[in-house]
Structure 1
């Protein structure tokens, strides 16, 4: 069985799930899977994926796992008590060949947000591992180990980067669970304090590392249906988050509607209230410059704020960004696929995104149009109008 613990997921799933329990326990949602790699045939592996899904749905949190969660200062006791009763249910997930018949598979997750939010990360991990163990059953990981050693040496041994830290964000697209564990252990032993932690809760627990994460796109997307009105949905999401965590987990995600729309809502109150912001689409250098200028315009010293970079990073890009912004703000870097699935074969670029909440379409309109995902073009057009988001030139054509 690929997933053997419900802690084998990313921290932001638990932090968002607690908000759902306390504020939106009756919300209904729908997620959809997409593979962005052309020509990948996943249909032969549907039965294996289903078998692994049923294994995932047999898991319960152990008492040791619950006590670990209870030790976090921002996790409330009633949420841990709820998790003690929690179990995923496969009835909320359908996995079928796509109607197009081109090797794509269609995965839909539909049900209560509270009972479906934990499917995404382990299900993506399952799809990855099933695919790669079938496609490359005898793969020699020596190449992956060599590449990993080179990355560690580059960051550790290059003068001027002693204070540059990275974190593992690679749960969703890892080559395998076993390889993920080896990568994080190697990073811990090779980088020491230059490894800030990992987004994976189980690995953080077992390896004595700091679990990292706050919120994801689905949280802000859901507020398109949960907020008082669409235009105020981003503000409502941030205010609810602040109400729940009272200063903890203070990194805001900036690219659900694009940076311009985010900065219009991220006023002086939020600039002072949140610890920083996270970049996940668009040009990272331009993004960082605009965010720093925004802090200064709102009478906030950027040197006291964190810029988190997490969009498709590798170590050279991390170091380039660090060199560019060093001393002007606090910096954090989350590296995913380039750490946990750089072993030779081309990694899968797969996602599971929320597309509906309470029967209403929801969408992400980021600064990288290829990341957008919505099944209702009319709603996307309306969203652009409400948030004054221009249509990209390639779409306008």
Structure 2
């Protein structure tokens, strides 16, 4: 790591990593409000997965992760934090009142070393609770790993050096990114590193680029930025597949319908690839395409996807220049610059850039996820536009879901 051997720290007690319940991605509150109002009785199971083949979590790391999650479960929202949320125009008072009472439950977690990578995490309970655990858990796992498995000071130094270079290239106009936001909380090197990046990006003006905000609500509040985020794959998976009476090939219709019931024309960026974008477009017809302000890309070829969306809007008689393509799949500034150049005259473009901003060091970042694997006792799955990005414990259910999608694509004209 960083040109030197790994230096594992056998035992260390770190400071509290998650210091506020606002320290999560904005879409958790966007989805959370709709879950509270429409699906409060849903139960879900979440499972952690490390996709890196060369990563191992020691017993000491696992113990520290447990301790940090216990500390997270002790947090409560402050009145100042609740007031901040209530001032977001689509957040309703009834949901704020619920959050005033809300507290994470450590009893919902199962954490052990019973996994190939040395770390197993599962969370089970109400969707209202377990949905909120994903982002803080991943942030904790990342920070514990990098602080206990390497020379953190050297990693942070390389992070600062790379951050200065990328900021310089945007400042000089070498990269023109249009509107971009920081989306890196779940994959960040540390809370310190993410805040440094957000602070540096927010205090400058750029030719051809505008730093809009961050998905981290805590940092958005601290630096007076826009908290960015609408829906994640869990929304389509649970709303569309958690009701046993639903045909899962219509997951997007159920999810879009419930979203519009909650928000109307507000907070409207639809995620397209939960069960493939082609299947999504079957349901994203004139009503939803009009009501939603744009769509988010998270898998598949971004150019093919973007052209497909522009063509879809045109086919519906909608002016693509009134809509936004939000790209968020494994971006760096160079990729965003090229996508912006290609699409900027066809449609509005925005970028949510994660790991490249929050964990770009001389070492490889962790590729870790925590996904919904069951809802109401039933398997759920994502069939994205990229092979390998899905996660489901039951291959029979994946086969069933693929068959449903195939039947719909062939017969639902």
Task: Please report how far the alpha carbon of residue 159 of structure 1 lies from its aligned counterpart in structure 2 after TM superposition.
Answer: 6.2
Tell me how far apart the structure 2 counterparts of residues 178 and 389 of structure 1 sit (CA, whole Å). Answer: 49
Residue in structure 2 matched with residue 158 of structure 1 by the alignment: 173
Output the CA distance in 2 between the equivalents of 1:179 and 1:290. 37
Query: For 2:52, what is the secondary structure of its paired residue?
Result: coil
Name which of 321, 334, 340 aligns with 2:358. 340
Matches of 1:75 and 1:42 in 2, distance apart? 38
**Partner of residue 202, structure 1:** 218
Report matched runs for 1:27-176 at 5 Å.
27-44=42-59, 45-98=61-114, 102-140=116-154, 141-158=156-173, 161=176, 164-176=178-190
Aligned to 2:41: 26
Per the normalisation by structure 1, the TM-score is 0.94
CA contact (8 A) 1:228 1:236 kept: no
Q: Conserved in 1, the CA contact under 8 Å of 2:159 and 2:193?
A: no
Q: Say if 1:354 and 1:362, in contact at 8 Å, map to a contact too.
A: yes
Note the C-alpha offset of 1:259.
Answer: 1.2
1:212 has 2:228 as partner: yes
User: Residue 237 of structure 2 aligns with which residue?
Assistant: 221
- The Cα shift of 1:389 comes to 8.1
- Residue aligning to 2:400: 382
Deviations 1:316-361 (A, max 9, x none): 0000000100111111100000000012111001000001000000
Deviation at 1:104, TM superposition (A): 3.2
The answer to whether the 8 Å contact 2:273/2:385 transfers is yes
Identify the range of structure 1 (361-370 vs 135-144) with the bigger mean alpha-carbon deviation. Answer: 135-144
Residues of 2 paired with 1:263 and 1:138: CA distance?
45
Aligned to 2:212, what secondary structure does the other structure show? strand
Q: Deviations over 1:269-309 (max 9, x none)?
A: 11111111000001101100111111111111111100000
**For the Cα contact (< 8 Å) 2:244–2:378, is it kept in 1?**
no
Residues 185-239 of structure 1 deviation map (CA, whole Å, 9 limit, x = unaligned): 0111134671110000000000000100000000100021238522332101101
Match of 2:29 in 1: 14
Task: Check conservation: 2:201, 2:211, Cα contact below 8 A.
Answer: yes
User: Helix, strand or coil for the counterpart of 2:203?
Assistant: helix
Counterpart in the other structure of 1:281: 299
| Structure 1: unaligned runs, 5 residues or longer | 391-397
State the Cα RMSD in Å. Answer: 1.6
- CA shift, 1:63, in A, is 0.7
Secondary structure of the corresponding residue to residue 370 of structure 1:
coil
SS at structure 2 position matched to 1:2: coil
Query: CA–CA distance in 2 between the matches of 1:281 and 1:96?
Result: 31
Q: Is the Cα–Cα contact under 8 Å of residues 227 and 236 in structure 1 kept in the other structure?
A: no
1:102-153 Cα offsets, whole Å, 9 max, x none, are 3332111101111221100000000000000011244233321221122122
Distance 2:203 2:330 in 1: 24
Residues of 2 paired with 1:347 and 1:138: CA distance? 13
Q: How many residues are treated as equivalent by the alignment?
A: 387
* Alignment-derived partner of residue 305 in structure 1: 323
Q: Does the aligned pair in 2 maintain the 1:227–1:233 contact within 8 Å? A: no
Aligned counterparts of 1:208 and 1:136: Cα–Cα separation in 2? 34
Match of 2:272 in 1: 254
Length-normalised TM-score, structure 2: 0.91
Q: Mark the CA change 1:370 to 1:104 in structure 2 (over 3 Å): closer, same or farther.
A: farther
Q: In structure 1, what is the Cα distance between the partners aligned to 2:407 and 2:362? A: 39
Q: Secondary structure at the match of 1:319?
A: helix
Separation (CA, whole Å) in 2 of partners of 1:65 and 1:178: 20
Give the whole-Å Cα distance in 2 for the aligned partners of 1:156 and 1:320: 17
**8 A Cα contact 2:50 2:117, kept in partner:** no
Residues in 1 aligned to 2:101 and 2:407: alpha-carbon distance in whole angstroms: 43
How far apart, CA to CA, are the structure 1 residues paired with 2:28 and 2:338? Answer: 30
Distance 1:210 1:41 in 2: 36
1:393 maps to none
2: distance between equivalents of 1:205 and 1:137? 31
